[in-house]
């Protein structure tokens, strides 16, 4: 739990009850069968793990192992067939503004400017216009897009679009940030920059982050713990503690050992 310093209420919720600012996630026996008429697909079977408040957890696994399915169930966008997810002790029954959600494909509104995209979620909060504007300014500054505030998404690079999506998800100050392969569509150099930026945001805000990736190096760069998944059926195979001091260097032998270990777990499947 290195690098986390939260504000108020650090001692709450040890017994899992009643902590208002708690953003812990409990995934308990979650399964999903897609049954859209054809033959049913068992996408996820009996997934269980917990994420502590302020923790950075990555979900890693091969394509088709149910990462997106699990992500969508946690976000309240897809209904589980079995089991339950709780955030701060409350069962997830649908999407809420307590979670910031970032997808691989940006999901920006093409007809809105950068500034309007970032402010989109704020419109539905009870903040005053002045507060909303200040928050948008802060977020644009955080992701380095102040000078592009009046641009439209189509004129931005992939990395910039993803910065807008991250700024938008953070604008409403969610306790929990859920990200599904958010850097999958950008080039390697931009990806490393975005990873560093995300770690800075996490370090300075103490948010809980659940981050899906199929990139093992990315997971070892980011996570406190890695939930390694396997396919057919999608399931949680193992949970690996990333015992590498931050900031992490790829040349560090401990870094390489963790990458090798997770790769071995993924490769060891059928
Ligand atoms: P991942 O994100 O790890 O690649 P997904 O969660 O997208 O995996 O998919 C897991 C499995 O569920 C795959 O076999 C996929 O084809 C299937 N699947 C995903 N979404 C649907 C859907 N809406 N309807 C039917 N099958 C689906
Ligand atoms: Mg996916």
Q: Where are the domains of the chain?
A: 26-98+176-267, 109-173
Contact 185, 105 (CB under 8 A): yes
Q: Is 36 in the pocket of ligand 1 (CB under 6 A)?
A: yes
Asked if the model's pLDDT at residue 79 lies above 80, the reply is yes
Average pLDDT over the chain reads 89
| Confidence category of residue 53, pLDDT binned at 50, 70, 90 | very high
What angle in degrees, to the nearest 10, is found between the helix axes of 188-205 and 158-171?
20
Q: Is 34 in the pocket of ligand 1 (CB under 6 A)?
A: yes
Asked if the model's pLDDT at residue 195 lies above 50, the reply is yes
Provide mean pLDDT across the span 181-195.
Answer: 88
Residue range 246-266, pLDDT digits in tens? 999 999 999 999 999 999 999
Asked if the model's pLDDT at residue 59 lies above 60, the reply is yes
**Distance separating alpha carbons of residues 102 and 243, to the nearest angstrom:** 26
Asked if the model's pLDDT at residue 56 lies above 70, the reply is yes
Q: What ligand is nearest to the CA atom of residue 43?
A: 1
**Distance separating alpha carbons of residues 89 and 176, to the nearest angstrom:** 13
Q: Which residue has the higher pLDDT, 149 or 191?
A: 149
Distance (angstroms) between ligand 2 centre and the Cα of 62 equals 9
Distance (angstroms) between ligand 2 centre and the Cα of 17 equals 32
Residue 268: per-residue pLDDT: 58
| Confidence category of residue 130, pLDDT binned at 50, 70, 90 | very high
Q: pTM (2 decimals)?
A: 0.88
Q: Class assignment of domain 26-98+176-267? A: alpha beta
Residue 269: per-residue pLDDT: 46
Residue range 93-114, pLDDT digits in tens? 999 888 999 998 878 999 999 9
Q: Is 205 in the pocket of ligand 1 (CB under 6 A)?
A: no
Cis peptide before 105 (omega within 30 of 0): no
Q: Is 66 in the pocket of ligand 1 (CB under 6 A)?
A: yes
Q: What ligand is nearest to the CA atom of residue 181?
A: 2
């Amino acid at each position: 739990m290195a690098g986390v310093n939260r504000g108020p209420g650090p001692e709450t919720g040890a017994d899992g009850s009643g902590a208002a600012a708690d953003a812990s996630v409990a995934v308990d026996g979650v399964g999903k069968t897609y049954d859209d008429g054809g033959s049913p697909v068992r996408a996820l079977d009996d997934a269980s793990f917990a994420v502590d408040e302020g923790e950075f957890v990555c979900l890693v696994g091969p394509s088709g192992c149910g990462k997106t399915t699990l992500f969508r169930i946690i976000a309240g966008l897809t209904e589980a067939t079995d089991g339950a997810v709780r955030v701060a002790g409350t069962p997830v029954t649908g999407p809420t503004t307590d979670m910031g959600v970032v997808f691989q494909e940006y999901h920006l509104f093409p007809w809105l400017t950068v500034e309007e995209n970032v402010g989109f979620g704020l419109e539905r909060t009870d903040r005053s216009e002045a507060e909303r504007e200040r928050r948008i300014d802060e977020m644009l500054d955080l992701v380095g897009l102040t000078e592009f505030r009046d641009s439209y998404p189509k004129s931005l690079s992939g990395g910039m679009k993803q910065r807008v999506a991250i700024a938008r998800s953070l604008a409403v100050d969610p306790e929990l940030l859920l990200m599904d392969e958010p850097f999958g569509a950008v080039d390697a150099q931009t990806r490393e920059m975005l990873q560093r930026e995300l770690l800075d945001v996490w370090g300075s805000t103490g948010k809980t982050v659940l981050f899906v990736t199929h990139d093992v190096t990315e997971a070892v760069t980011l996570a406190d713990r890695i939930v390694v998944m396997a396919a057919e059926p999608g399931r949680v195979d193992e949970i690996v503690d990333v015992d590498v001091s931050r900031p992490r260097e790829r040349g560090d032998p401990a870094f390489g050992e963790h990458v090798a270990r997770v790769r071995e777990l993924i490769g060891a499947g059928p």
